[in-house]
Chain A
Amino acid sequence: MDLSRLVDEALREIDTAVDENALIQVRARVLGKQGALSLQLRELGTLAPEARAARGKDLNDAKMRIEAAATARLEALRATASATRLASERIDVSLPACGPSLGHMHPVRRVESELIEIFAGLGFEWVDGREVETEHYNFDALNIPADHPAREMQDTFFVRPGVVLRTHTSPVQVRTMEKRKPPLQVITTGRVYRHDKDTSHSPMFHQLEGFLVDDRATFVELKGVLYAVLRSLFGQNVEMRFRKNFFPFTEPSGEIDIRREGSWGGRWMEILGCGMVHPNVLRNVGYDPDLCQGFAFGMGLDRIAMLKYGIDEIRVLFENDQRVLERF
């Protein structure tokens, strides 16, 4: 066959090959072992030496042209095939995700975690404590006398004489001081119980309690620590008021209020109670009030969660309505 016709025909077939398979067949017909061009190359040896060089060059050029065209065509075909496949694989990425979505934190746990972290940054260590306590740890050791109204059945849950559900986290303070020696810088969090049927209260709620006892802690340091904590929690511009209060286990005692807008209408809301640890409390755990001193504070986590997130009823916190939890 005439070489140029062969080349033209091959190139035409390559260009019209519809897929990779067709292309391979074309290639095999021309360049394969029994291919038209291969046969002609093999015949070169039969030519006279003077004619061989020119003929060889022509054949090689033809081969390279066909090879190049085949390669180009192959790439083009692959590109097209790939594009087609990719196009066919298109999906609607706006369909909903599957697998579990992130679960939610309980609002009280959220403020608890946040506060524990803030206090950790100030060097306070977290400890745990019992929820069913003796009257000794819940009251006596904290300088709350036997005839104090808080010790009545209408305020405290009794399990049996002398055993109560802790009404505050303060027993942890006593137990920790008994076990260890100053300097101590400790917080605890947990559930506490008060006998309260009032709908604006709950028979169970959460407190965070903390204390620092060493040989030098002062009232202005108490203020510094608590103001720093409340600014971290409610923002640097939170408006605070620090006023006098009374607790049997601290002296001097105080209470901090923050001003809340929104549904609270700019009212001052109690946020925590605090004071210098009462010398009787120190004495009760075997410390010498002349050698050590310190401050203590306690706050309601539920109340803080309510003030922080705008929850108006404490009841909501313990219903575990999934639709509410999903906000947190």
Chain B
Amino acid sequence: MRVSLHWLREFVPIQASAAEIADRLTRCSLEVEEIEELGRALDGVVVARLQSMQPHPNADRLTLCAVEDGAGTRSIVCGAKNMQAGDYVALALPNTTLPNGAEIKKSKVRGEVSEGMLCSESELGLATESSGILLLDAECAREVGLGAPVARLLGRDDTLFHIDVLPDRGDCASTLGIAREIAALFRLPLTPKSVELQESGSPTENSVCVEVQDAERCPRYMARLIRGLRVSASPEWLVRRLESVGLRSINNVVDVTNYVLWELGQPLHAFDAATIPQGKIVVRRARSGEKIALLDGGEPRALTTEDLVIADREQPIALAGIMGGAATAVSSSTTDVILEAAYFCDPTIRLSARRHAIHSDSSYRFERGVDLEGVARALDRAAALIVELAGGSIAPGAIDLRNFEYGRFAPVSLRVARVKTLLGIDLEECEIRRRLTSLGIEVSGAAPILSAKSPTWRHDLVREEDLLEEILRLDGYDVLPEALPRVQVVHRTPSPARKQEQALREVLRAHGFSEAVNLAFVSDEDLHAVRLADRPERARAVALRNPIGAELALLRPTLLPALLHAASWNLRHGVTKLCQFEIGRIFLDRTDEALPEERRQLLALRVPHAAKSFWNRPEAQVPFFEIKSLLLAAGATLRHTLRIEAAEGEQVSPYLHPGIVGKILCGSNATSVGEIGVLHPEVARHWELSPETVLFVLELDPLLQAAPQAIRYEPAPKYPGVSRDLAMLVALDVAAAQIEERIWKASGGRLVGLELFDRYIGKGVPAGKQSLAYRIFLQAKDKTLTDQEVTRIVEKVKTVLSQELGAEHRE
């Protein structure tokens, strides 16, 4: 909301600078988002007096002027002819930029020095066209003095505060409201304007009859009648005032209603009395099917029974508190007006305004609550001002229909001790009283409990805490001391989920992966692209009722698409190697509960180098085993030994290569905690990624549930161990895991480790077979194994491998 400093000064004698006022308001009351100096555009243009004139020696059309600017006399070359010696003029000093963009410099014009420029109205931005230079009013010029800014003389040196009125402070949505705040913050008196009203003619009630059918939604309705006025243009000062708060002048009657709204915060409306049969006004709910064309010139609006309207005998003539109807608007032929000032209840207006998407200055104020007791004053002020500007006479008596049940605020109790115990500061009782009183709050009673009755314009002071905030804010929070809490010490266990995530982040980072954070939305198209269209992930995806766009329509049931987007984007922008991961939630609808399932997941994605781009790296590395090693490291950092088991068919996510994919298992009961594999070639192609793109997905919650391996000391082996090599031929479809499992089982507790040191397929190995070479390490805790024992174990292992897996052993 915009507030003019000049206007404020009509209510409060504030001398502080605009910056000081803004700073204090921002700290203690409402945020001033911007200070707009209206005169700034005319900086450098001063009041000057034309001393003498003579023709320019080298140009017929130019005149040499001697101009007095308070500091001295300047010579100015001027092309205008409409001035004479003794005139007061607007002088732009050298190094000034005018509103029209012209830069004024000291210069020579046809050989004569010109130290500035005499300005026209259009050059100063005061008019779109003008002829000759601007001649200033001599009396005003003498008053402000030579050398004073022209903006001051023209009344254009006002300052506007752009204020963010908080939703609980509707009382501040006016000049008077801000003036009240300033008076309290700067400890100044408030100087309200008195209204003198001259009534004449036949009483209002003879010509106007108001019926309020919904007193709950309209607790107060007032009206006055003005007869015989003349609608015309508003005077300059009023136009300028309205302009300053961002309003366009319409005519003197409508302008007054707007003016009083901005001044006192009370919305008003003027009806052309001739358009209302028998002056009959009804405040009621709209009937279904009713329509009204409003002042905004739009299509007639269909009303609902929840809308409150002002109606004549038959039909609505205004949407109450929001906007007047077109049919009853004041026009140039209007002579009599019915002036309305009312109090409409905030939720009604808020809902109606929202339903019809109309946000007017009037609805803005009713939504926040106006002053029930200020209605009469605003009505009288507006009536008086209309008569002053448009003539006519005010009919005796105002109509005032009031629901007396409404708007009686109960006094709020304030325990004086709470200042200390809730705010933590020491304040004398008299200071507490002073602060509350300065805000118009009536304080009675005495410590330990005061009783505070808030002024009728404040709707937000309903609890002790509200009063405590008022006490606190007047001096600002910046002056408060700082203290640390005097807490009771409580033992707290750090969150295991957070520890888990942090540990994973560290191990992934150590392996060269960077953390991504993506929006949690995906599109249907994305899910198609990762081949999930027919899967439960799609069916259970949580759809938003009001998405921002189709590409953000679903909550993600997988972290994959966003990471693929990022990978693809990065590679297209010259990044050669991409290792990113994200830790976040996926969302899946469930039929048995209102809230969807939320699962914490980790997805790590590695897109290999587009080409061999590192000087020392063997090209032929299998990317799967690299990311497998990272996965195992991630498991180990959480003290889990993760296992990877071949998976196929429906068990496998369709975005993974069906031949290069494994389930990730954890713990003795082999809980499934994720998947690892190569990205499906079709998915890779969709995002233009390498077919060797690998990834794994870890389910973090089940992983957190699995018991980690305890850390237990075991002494280093005392007796030496031995190693033996096993070379064999086995069928290609025998998995390494099967072989290893047999070796462990068959070696009867003497095996302490094994490693695959060679694997070969090709020339020399029969088709359909693979040659594998394992080195096994045997050791006993209590003795040195004899050759015999070792041989026996090795033989047993060999036998088991041959019998169960068809291994042919080679020497």
Contact = CB atoms under 8 A, between A and B. Distances in A.
Interface stretch (A6-14, A58-66, A74-82, A251-259): A251-259
Contact of A251 (B350, B463, B598): B463
A206 to B, nearest CB: 8
Contacts of B545: 153, 157-160
B422 A126 contact: no
Given A212-B485, A220-B480, A127 B514 contact: no
Counting chain B CB atoms within 10 Å of each CB, the highest count among A152, A242, A252 belongs to: A252
Contacts, number: 245
Contacts of A252: 423, 465, 468-469, 472-473
Given A220-B425, A241-B27, A321 B573 contact: yes
Contacts of B783: none
B494 A159 contact: no
A132 B476 contact: no
A325 B514 contact: yes
A134 B594 contact: yes
Contacts of A159: 542-545, 555, 596
A243 interface: yes
A228 interface: yes
A209 interface: no
A224 B487 CA distance: 13
A130 B596 CA distance: 10
A301 to B, nearest CB: 10
A303 interface: no
Given A185-B487, A252-B468, A323-B575, A203 B521 contact: yes
A132 B555 contact: yes
A252 B347 CA distance: 24
Interface string B484-527: 11111110101101100010010011111111111111000000
A103 B509 contact: yes
B424 A219 contact: yes
Interface string A15-37: 00000000000000000000000
A195 to B, nearest CB: 6
A219 B596 contact: no
Contact of B27 (A103, A154, A243): A243
Contacts of B478: 241-243
Contact of A244 (B477, B498, B520): B477
Contact of A126 (B466, B495, B510, B511): B495
A214 B487 contact: yes
Interface string B419-439: 001111100000000000000
A140 interface: no
Interface residues of A, number: 83
Nearest to B346: A147
Interface string B575-614: 1001110001101000000111010000000000000001
B734 interface: no
A interface: dominant SS: mixed
B469 A253 contact: yes
A321 B495 contact: no
B598 A130 contact: yes
B580 A221 contact: no
A245 B521 CA distance: 32
Interface string A194-237: 01010000111000000010101111110111011000000000
B753 interface: no
B29 interface: yes
A260 interface: no
Contact of A127 (B473, B495, B511, B518): B495
Contacts of A216: 421, 485-486
Interface in B425-464: 425, 463
Given A216-B486, A223-B482, A195 B585 contact: no
Contact of B28 (A120, A243, A251): A243
B495 A128 contact: yes
Interface stretch (B165-173, B382-390, B402-410): B165-173
B546 interface: yes
Contact of A158 (B519, B546, B570, B594): B546
Given A252-B472, A321-B573, A204 B519 contact: yes
B542 A320 contact: no
B422 to A, nearest CB: 6
B166 to A, nearest CB: 4
A302 to B, nearest CB: 9
Contact of B423 (A125, A197, A218): A218
A252 to B, nearest CB: 3
Interface stretch (A39-47, A48-56, A104-112): A104-112
Contact of B480 (A132, A147, A202, A219): A219
A266 to B, nearest CB: 14
Contacts of A245: 31, 166
A123 B616 CA distance: 49
B615 interface: yes
B372 to A, nearest CB: 20
Contact of B595 (A163, A204, A242): A163
Contacts of B508: 103
Nearest to B587: A132
Contacts of A163: 594-595
A323 B584 CA distance: 22
B625 interface: no
A100 B423 contact: no
A318 interface: yes
Contacts of B546: 153-154, 157-158, 195
Contacts of A185: 485, 487, 490, 492
A261 interface: no
Nearest to B589: A159
A105 B505 CA distance: 8
Nearest to A109: B515
A251 B167 contact: no
B780 interface: no
Given A246-B167, A320-B516, A220 B483 contact: yes
6 contacts: A98-B616, A154-B546, A216-B485, A221-B424, A223-B477, A244-B28
Interface of B: 26-29, 31, 166-169, 347, 350-351, 354, 421-425, 463, 465-466, 468-469, 472-473, 476-478, 480-490, 492, 494-495, 497-498, 502, 505, 508-521, 542-548, 552, 555, 566, 569-570, 573, 575, 578-580, 584-585, 587, 594-596, 598, 614-617
Given A183-B490, A193-B520, A322-B514, 6 more contacts: A106-B514, A125-B492, A157-B546, A162-B594, A183-B488, A320-B570
Ranked nearest first, the 7 interchain pairs of A and B with the lowest CB-CB distance are A100-B512, A218-B424, A252-B469, A220-B424, A224-B482, A242-B477, A320-B516
